[in-house]
Amino acid sequence: EAAINRIAAGEVVERPASAIKELVENALDAGANRIEIAYADGGKTLMRVTDDGCGIPPDQLPLALARHATSKIDGSDLLNIHSFGFRGEALPSLGAVARLTITSRAPGHEAGEIAVSGGQVGAVRPAALTSGTIVTLRDLFYATPARLKFMRSDRAEAQAITDIVKRLAMAAPFVGFTLRDVSGGGEGRVTFRAEAETGDLLDALYGRLAHILGTEFAGNALRLAATRDGLTLTGYAALPTYSRGAAIAQYLFVNGRPVRDRMLHGALRAAYQDVLARDRHPAAALFIDCDPTLVDVNVHPAKSEVRFRDPGVARGLIVSGLRHALAEAGH
């Protein structure tokens, strides 16, 4: 069991940022309105995610650390996935390769705490917490020294943490986020903050994107709304005035989850080909929503890849949605 968890950890957790992603997704699944994330030394020595979500009753704490125990779906529902988590794999995996502590309080229950270190799960103890959950992860990969070597500099890992937190913040504009570097101890230094947006979803999204991608993006952004064969596209795209490389500011979310798909870059290029110089790249945050059976998010345990049942439809939706918006804007 411990060995299986360590192997699974290699797939779920590649680096500190992937641990942060799992913990923040859990906080979002728990219905948090505010999420505070702290890290030290690029996340290598400490990561902590604090949320004001539904909490975990003390008697459920051991279950949260059990492999393939998820409160989010029953086994029959693997194709019908709406929450971020569904594998029940993240916490056991993290507990196998790091020192993990969960402190939590669910309404109507006492607060409790459980710790696991290198796969050894301790007993549930009473704790002091008014509500929500704090997950603390120390010494990532201390139990798997071979993986320690693959971590990059503190600076590079901190950058990766910031990137993933920003992506998740784009996916959840109604949630407030604070990211702190606490390497020096104490309160640390706030490296990213986003206040909870209000209004309808598209307005909230616009506000969040303007905050994260900047006023240049916001000022040029075209609002997208298109549907094709059961797939809905919403979001914003902009003609940037910079040309800093292909990877910049192109974000895709499928059913609310940040994903990577090589299709996106090509689709954006194709849509903008007549209005964009060769060395320029459009910026975009695109949200595709569809019936969960039309997309497979189960491709990889880290869940950042998707496979559309019909990739051509997704690409066509993006290209035609963008061309339509460009035409409306007079391009």
> At its nearest, how many Å lie between ligand ADP and the CB of residue 193?
20
User: Phi/psi at 233 (nearest 5 deg)?
Assistant: -115, 125
Q: Is residue 91 at the binding interface for ligand ADP, with CB under 6 A as the rule?
A: yes
User: Which residues in 106-165 contact ligand ADP (CB under 6 A)?
Assistant: 133
Q: Is residue 85 at the binding interface for Mg ion, with CB under 5 A as the rule?
A: yes
For residue 216 the two structure tokens come to 């240049």
Task: Name which of 33 and 232 has its Cβ closer to ligand ADP.
Answer: 33
Q: Is residue 160 at the binding interface for Mg ion, with CB under 5 A as the rule?
A: no
Binds ligand ADP by CB under 6 A, chosen from 27, 47, 137, 179: 27
Q: Is residue 87 at the binding interface for ligand ADP, with CB under 6 A as the rule?
A: yes
Contact 119, 95 (CB under 8 A): yes
For residue 223 the two structure tokens come to 């609002």
- Residue 97 binding: pick among ligand ADP, Mg ion, none (C-beta 5-8 Å cut-off by kind): none
Contact 221, 237 (CB under 8 A): yes
User: Phi/psi at 263 (nearest 5 deg)?
Assistant: -55, -35
Q: Give the contact letters, 6-45, x = binds to Mg ion (CB under 5 A), - = no.
A: --------------------x-------------------
For residue 130 the two structure tokens come to 């008014």
- Residue 250 binding: pick among Mg ion, ligand ADP, none (C-beta 5-8 Å cut-off by kind): none
Q: How far from 162 is each of 181, 192, 265, 321, CA to CA, in Å?
A: 10, 7, 22, 30
Total H helices, total E strands in the chain: 10, 16
Q: Is residue 36 at the binding interface for ligand ADP, with CB under 6 A as the rule?
A: no
User: Residue 213 carries which side chain, given as an amino acid letter?
Assistant: L
User: Residue 151 carries which side chain, given as an amino acid letter?
Assistant: M
Q: Is residue 58 at the binding interface for Mg ion, with CB under 5 A as the rule?
A: no
Binds Mg ion by CB under 5 A, chosen from 35, 54, 90, 151: 90
For residue 179 the two structure tokens come to 């990211």
> At its nearest, how many Å lie between Mg ion and the CB of residue 301?
11
> At its nearest, how many Å lie between ligand ADP and the CB of residue 171?
15
Nearest CA to 140 out of 65, 44, 49 is that of: 44
By beta carbon distance, the residue nearest Mg ion is: 85
Q: How far apart are CA 165 and CA 287, in angstroms?
A: 17
- Residue 61 binding: pick among Mg ion, ligand ADP, none (C-beta 5-8 Å cut-off by kind): none
For residue 53 the two structure tokens come to 């979500």
Q: Is residue 12 at the binding interface for ligand ADP, with CB under 6 A as the rule?
A: no
Nearest CA to 35 out of 143, 129, 168 is that of: 168
Task: Name which of 133 and 250 has its Cβ closer to Mg ion.
Answer: 133
Q: Is residue 56 at the binding interface for ligand ADP, with CB under 6 A as the rule?
A: yes
> At its nearest, how many Å lie between ligand ADP and the CB of residue 96?
11
Nearest CA to 282 out of 255, 327, 315, 245 is that of: 245
Q: Is residue 71 at the binding interface for ligand ADP, with CB under 6 A as the rule?
A: yes
Q: How far apart are CA 326 and CA 329, in angstroms?
A: 5
Enumerate binding residues for ligand ADP (CB under 6 A).
Answer: 22, 26-27, 30, 51, 53-56, 64, 70-72, 85-91, 133
Enumerate binding residues for Mg ion (CB under 5 A).
Answer: 26, 85, 90
